Every structure is written in C-alpha cells, then in structure tokens.
Amino acid sequence: MLAIGYTVIRAIKTTKALSMYNFFVDSATGCCESLGFTGCSVVCYAVNDIEQIENLLHTEYDRYEILAVIDSRLYPDIFYSIVKQYGLIQVNPIVSNELPDTHIRALYRSRQRRFRRLVLIDEAYTSPYNSLDCATLVASYEYIIPLNASMRLREHAIEYAAILISECREQAIVAIHSSADDECYIIKREHIISNDGFSSTLFHDVPSTQILSTPTPLVYTINDNEESLRKFRYNTYTVILVVLLFEMIWADGLTIVATLLSIVLIYLIVKYYNVVVDERFCPEWAMLCYFRRIRRFFYGRKFLL
C-alpha cells in the first residue's frame, strides 16, 4: 500500500508540475530573449551521437550555449563527424585558470552563425568529472547543466530553467535539482569553482535549504540499453511469480486477489505517468528509471554521473 500511495502522489505531483511548466513556458517562449539576463551552459561529456547535439541545438533561448567534451584520440570518428557536420574550426583557447590543469588540447567553434552556440572541446580524457571541469572552465554563463551521453533536453527546458533561476535569484540557492525519474541539476558555476571542480562531494557541505527541488522533468534519457530493460523485466516477473506462489501456499484467496490488484494498479499508474511525462518509452522503461531513482536515495548527498 505504501508503494501504491507513493506512486500515486508522485504521478499527481509530476502532472501538476508539468501543467505549470507548460503554462510558464508558453508565456516565455517566442521572444527568444533572456529572462532576467539568466544564462545557462549545458556541458555534456562522452558524446557518442550527433543526435544529442541536434537535440541541444534545438532551443532558441538567447543566453545559452552547448559545450561538448570529447577526446579526439580515443573517439576520432564521432569527434571529426561533429567537426564536419557543423563546420567547426580550431580557435585559440581562452581558458580560465580557476581550476587545476584539465588537459584541454583545443577548442572548436563554428563559422556558421546558426551553430555559434556550440563549442567542441578536445581533452585528454581522465575521468567524467575532469571532462565536466574542462567545460566549466570554458563556460560563459553562471549556471551549468551537466549531461551524460544518454540525456536529452525536453522541449523548452532551458526557458523553464531560466524561469526557476530568476525566481530564486534573491535566495542563497546553490543548485536546482529536477527530482523527476530522469533527474538533473542546474548548478551555480561559482559553487563548482569553490569546490575545486566536479566531484562526488559537490553538495556534501551544502545545506538542503540551498538546493531548490522541483518535480518537473527537464531531461529525458534515451533507452539505448536493451539488456538492462530485459534484466529488469525478467527480475520483475520472477519476483511477482515468487510472491504469488508463496501466497498460494501460505495465504488465503483474498490476499492473492489484493496482491494482483495492487500489481495491476501500480502498472496502470506508471502507464499514466509514462504517457504524461514522455510516451516515447514503454512503461517498463519508466519503472526502471523509477527504481533507479529510488536506489540513488541511498547514496545520500553524493553527486553521481
């Protein structure tokens, strides 16, 4: 019953948040101008598909840039595909010295005006955290949105992020946390710098009052791991069968019926939640993201990639 209650509350909160999201975004989009001069830098590491770049370039928000970090020696195919696709040329790197050496080899920008917000960073890869540090040093704006290779921005996510930032500008907010199943952070650049870059302890000493949480999903994750989904289905069906067999031996018929109804109800709620948030993926994928989100709860305040 607790699982059903929690799932219902989460679905209702997300539905209400998305309604508010659509209301604010509809009124903010169209002008393409920055809200309260708020700027956002999306930094992505381990890029392995040009489709991700296309997704990130889709927004028309004025004060916004994309910083893609790739090691050209480890992944030459995707690196030079991006260079060719967007007509990038190498430019003189103007890199801040606010963080320790991050092994930036070169920067690339486009000669085409429509791709001017894209910056490609060639780095000597050491870790995902170091990749994000490279992008942070190059970033022009005061708020950083880190993404991994499987994450995509929802439509008008940057505009809504700018609204959230503008509303809490007078407060001592270090980060905004989208606590949906596909969670993400919007982090103040100065906090990253003061923490000597990205790490698992990025929010370790930050009071909870300085992290604004919103149930509104700003990103979604591409389902490119069929093996994980297959294992999840297998494990889920196995657990359900074991529980039902146990109840058939030890419990009465009413308990079995209640269990079956609970399973069906949870599935229908997740199906509804899936349609509301993003109907491109199956309910099983939504449930997998849901349980991954619960698992991350036990890691405490760690910033995990």
User: What number of other Cβ atoms are within 10 A of residue 171's Cβ?
Assistant: 10
Largest CA distance in the chain: 74
Instruction: Tell me the pLDDT tens digit for each residue of 223-254.
Output: 655 565 566 666 777 877 777 777 777 777 77
Whether 120 shows a pLDDT value over 90: the answer reads yes
pLDDT, the chain, mean: 79
Residue 105 has pLDDT above 70, yes or no: yes
pLDDT tens column, 141-164: 999 999 999 889 988 889 888 888
Looking at the chain, the whole-number percentage of residues with pLDDT higher than 90 is 35
| Digit-coded pLDDT (tens) for 73-101 | 999 999 999 999 999 999 987 777 888 77
- Name the band, by pLDDT with cuts 50, 70 and 90, for residue 259: confident
Banded model confidence at residue 300, pLDDT cuts 50, 70, 90:
low
Residue 283: pLDDT above 80? no
**Where do the domains of the chain lie, and which CATH numbers do they carry?**
2-10+223-298 (no CATH), 28-221 (3.90.550.10)
Report residue 217's pLDDT band, with 50, 70 and 90 as the boundaries.
Answer: confident
Contact 204, 301 (CB under 8 A): yes
Q: Do 58 and 115 form a contact (C-beta atoms < 8 A)? A: no
Buried-exposed string 221-238: b where 16+ CB fall within 10 A, e elsewhere: bbbeeeeebeebeeeeee
pTM: predicted TM-score of the whole model, two decimal places: 0.75
Mean pLDDT of 157-179: 85
Question: Which residue in 124, 209, 165, 218 sits closest to 37, CA to CA?
Answer: 165
Token reading at 224: 């490119």
